[in-house]
A and B are shown apart, each in its own frame.
Chain A
Amino acid sequence: MRKVAVVGVGETKFSGRQEKTAVELFSEAAMDAITESKLKPRDIQSLFVGNVLGDFSEGQGMVQAFAAESIGAFNVPANKYEGACASASMAVRDAFMWVASGFYDIVLAGGVERAATMGTALATRTFAMFSDARYEYPCGITFPSVFALLAHLYSARYGIPLEKLKTQMATTSVQGYKYGQLNEKAHLRKQVTIDDVLNSFMVCTPLQLHDCCPFSDGAAAVVLASEEVARRLTGKPVYITGIGQASSGPLANQSRYLPRITAREISVKQAYDMAGIKPKDVDIAEIHDCFSIANLIAAESLGFFEFGKAGEAWMKGEADIGGKVAINLSGGLKSKGHPIGATGAGQVYEIVKQMRGEVEPGRQAPEPKIGLTDTLGGDGGTLCNLILQRGW
C-alpha cells in the first residue's frame, strides 16, 4: 500500500440558506483545492463526493457527475457517498484507498449540502430518515431526540446529576463558539456564555438550542495524491496515516454499549492501529459535536478521557489548547456548522490548515503534528475516523 497525502484543500463558508446551488458550492471548494495543489482539473482522475439530501433540498440527485463536469474534470468517474452526517469522511476514506492501492495517483474528495435551505421542519423530517423508518420514526424520533435520549442515559449510567451534566455540556458549547467566532468560514460567529446555553429554548429535554448544531449549507474538498506525486507538488504534504469505518443498526440494538457508540470504538481502533499511534499522541481533533453531549460521548470513545469524565476534562481545559488534546478549534459542528454531506471533508480541511499554521490567530494550535477526525452518521449507523500527520 502506498502513502497518500492531502496536497490541497478548499472550503466555502458554512452558512444559513444559500443562493448558490450544491454544484456551485462544491465547484468553488473543489477549484480552491485544485488550485492550491498547483494542479488543473484535468489532472483529477476521479471524484468522491458526499451528499445526503440533494434530492430533498433542491431536487438534485447525482450531484457528483454534474460537479465533475462543472469543474472541468470531464468524463471522470464520479461517485457519491451517503452515510448521513459521516458521508464526506467516507468519501475521503474511499479516495484514500484507491490512491493507496495504486489505481489512481490524484483524486478529489469532499462533499456538499444545503441543509439550511430545507428549513427546520423539512430538515428535521429528513434527518430523521437516518433512524429506522419502521421501528423508530413512528415514535417521532428526530436527530436531537436521539442525543437527548443519550444525554439522560449518560446522566443515569455515570451517576452525574443532570444539572451538573448540563453545565459540563454547556461548557463544550461555549468552547465551540469561542473558536468558531474567530473562524471566518464558520456559520455561527458569536459569543455565548454558559447562562446563554442554559437559558436557550428547549429543543428535546435536556438539549437546549445552544446544545445543538445548526443546519448549514456549505461544501469542502480535498485533493489526495500518492507520495511520489505529493513530493512534486508541495513542501507541506499532510499524510493520511490511519483510517477506520464501522456500522451499526437501530439505536435500540446498540443497547449493550449505550451511551457508548460501539461503531466509533471499532472505527477509531482501526485508525489508531493503522497509524501506529495512541490517543495520547493526538495533538488536535475535529470531533462530531452535533450536540453538546455528543462531545463527551465521542471524546471518551476516542480514548481521550475516561468514561463519564469528559465533562470534567472540558471544564478543566483539557480539551482546549494547552490541554491533553485540542478539540474542535474550528468551532466544531456547533459553531462552524454542519452541512452534513460536507462535514467530514471540512474537518480534514481544518486539520490540514492547522498543521500548515494557516488559521486565524487565537485558534491556532502550537505546531500540531498529529490530527484526528471523527464523524458520526445517524444513530451511530456510520462512524468514520481519519488520522492525519504532518509530512515535513
Chain B
Amino acid sequence: MEYKLTFKRYDEALRQNKLLGLKCRDCGAVTIPPKMVCRQCASSEIEVVELGGRGKIQTFTVVNVPPEGRESEVPYIIAMVELDEGPWTMGNLDNVDPATATMALIGKRVTMKHKVFPGDKYSAGDSARPLFSLEA
C-alpha cells in the first residue's frame, strides 16, 4: 500500500506556505503530521487535504541550550499549536521576543508561514517546519 502523503510532498507544500494533512473518510478526523492511516480510527481511507494553518497556542518553550550545530539559533521559541481542524502541530514562533515569552502566549491565535532547517550531517537533508506568528 502506498504512503499517501510522504514527507517529501508535505515539505514541498510547506515551502509554499501550504500545510497538508490527511482527512479520514470513515471518521472525519484530520491527521497531521502525516501517517499511513488515520490517527484516530486507523482507517486507510484517507485523502490529502490542505489545512488553513491557523490555530491557537497550547504550549510553548524558549530554548536556550541548543543541539550540536544549532548554536546560532538560540534563544528560539517552540510552540505546540492546536489547528482549527483539530490536531496539534509543532512549529516555531516568529514575532515574539523570547525574553518576553510568558504563559500569556497560551491561547493566543496564530497564522502560519514556514522556515527551512538547512539540515545537518545526521538529518538526510533539509526540511521546512511551520513558522507561526501571533495574529495581528
Which positions in A face B, CB cutoff 8 Å?
Answer: 120-122, 124-125, 128-129, 132-142, 144-145, 148-153, 155-156, 162, 201-207, 249-253, 255
Q: How large is the interface on B (under 10, 10 to 19, 20 to 34, 35 or more residues)?
A: 35 or more
> Least Cβ distance of B98 to chain A in Å?
8
7 residue pairs A–B, Cβ–Cβ below 8 Å = A121-B67, A125-B68, A125-B69, A136-B90, A142-B66, A145-B78, A149-B80
Q: Which of B72-90 contact A (CB under 8 A)?
A: 73, 76, 78, 80, 82, 87-90
Q: Which single residue of chain B is at the shortest CB-CB distance from A118?
A: B68
> Least Cβ distance of B62 to chain A in Å?
4
B123 CB-CB contact with A under 8 Å? yes
Question: What are the residues of chain B within 8 A of A204 when measuring CB–CB?
Answer: 61-65
Within the complex, which residue of B11, B65, B82 is in contact with A203, where a contact is CB–CB below 8 Å?
B65
Question: What are the residues of chain A within 8 A of B127 when measuring CB–CB?
Answer: 134, 138
Shortest 5 CB-CB contacts between residues of A and residues of B = A148-B61, A138-B117, A135-B33, A125-B67, A138-B129
> Least Cβ distance of A99 to chain B in Å?
34
B63 pairs with A134, CB closer than 8 A: no
Question: What are the residues of chain A within 8 A of B32 when measuring CB–CB?
Answer: 252
Question: What are the residues of chain A within 8 A of B124 when measuring CB–CB?
Answer: 133
- Tell me which of B39, B80, B91 has the highest count of chain A C-beta atoms within 10 A of its own C-beta: B80
Q: How far is the CA of A239 from the CA of B36 in the complex (A)?
A: 40
B41 CB-CB contact with A under 8 Å? no
Within the complex, which residue of B11, B65, B122 is in contact with A144, where a contact is CB–CB below 8 Å?
B65
Q: Which single residue of chain B is at the shortest CB-CB distance from A127?
A: B67
Q: Which single residue of chain A is at the shortest CB-CB distance from B115?
A: A138
Q: How far is the CA of A295 from the CA of B105 in the complex (A)?
A: 25
Question: What are the residues of chain A within 8 A of B101 when measuring CB–CB?
Answer: 205
Within the complex, which residue of B67, B68, B103 is in contact with A155, where a contact is CB–CB below 8 Å?
B103
Q: Which single residue of chain B is at the shortest CB-CB distance from A150?
A: B59
Task: Decide yes or no: A128 and B67 within 8 Å by CB, A134-B33, A152-B59 being known contacts.
Answer: yes
Task: Decide yes or no: A139 and B64 within 8 Å by CB, A133-B123, A134-B7, A156-B103 being known contacts.
Answer: no
Q: Which single residue of chain B is at the shortest CB-CB distance from A212?
A: B65
B4 CB-CB contact with A under 8 Å? no
B18 CB-CB contact with A under 8 Å? no
B78 pairs with A149, CB closer than 8 A: yes
Q: Which single residue of chain A is at the shortest CB-CB distance from B59?
A: A153
- Tell me which of B39, B101, B124 has the highest count of chain A C-beta atoms within 10 A of its own C-beta: B39
Question: What are the residues of chain B within 8 A of A124 when measuring CB–CB?
Answer: 65-68
A149 pairs with B60, CB closer than 8 A: yes
A141 pairs with B64, CB closer than 8 A: no
A interface footprint on B26-70 (CB within 8 Å = 1, 0 otherwise) = 000000110100010000000000000000001111111111111
B89 pairs with A252, CB closer than 8 A: yes
Q: Which single residue of chain B is at the shortest CB-CB distance from A253?
A: B39
- Tell me which of A129, A136, A138, A253 has the highest count of chain B C-beta atoms within 10 A of its own C-beta: A138
> Least Cβ distance of A249 to chain B in Å?
7
Q: How far is the CA of A225 from the CA of B36 in the complex (A)?
A: 41
Q: Which single residue of chain A is at the shortest CB-CB distance from B127?
A: A138
A250 pairs with B63, CB closer than 8 A: no
B134 CB-CB contact with A under 8 Å? no
A149 pairs with B61, CB closer than 8 A: yes
Q: Which single residue of chain B is at the shortest CB-CB distance from A124?
A: B67
Q: How far is the CA of A153 from the CA of B56 in the complex (A)?
A: 13
Q: How far is the CA of A129 from the CA of B67 in the complex (A)?
A: 11
A253 pairs with B66, CB closer than 8 A: no
- Tell me which of B61, B66, B76, B120 has the highest count of chain A C-beta atoms within 10 A of its own C-beta: B61
> Least Cβ distance of B6 to chain A in Å?
10
B60 pairs with A132, CB closer than 8 A: no
> Least Cβ distance of A244 to chain B in Å?
22
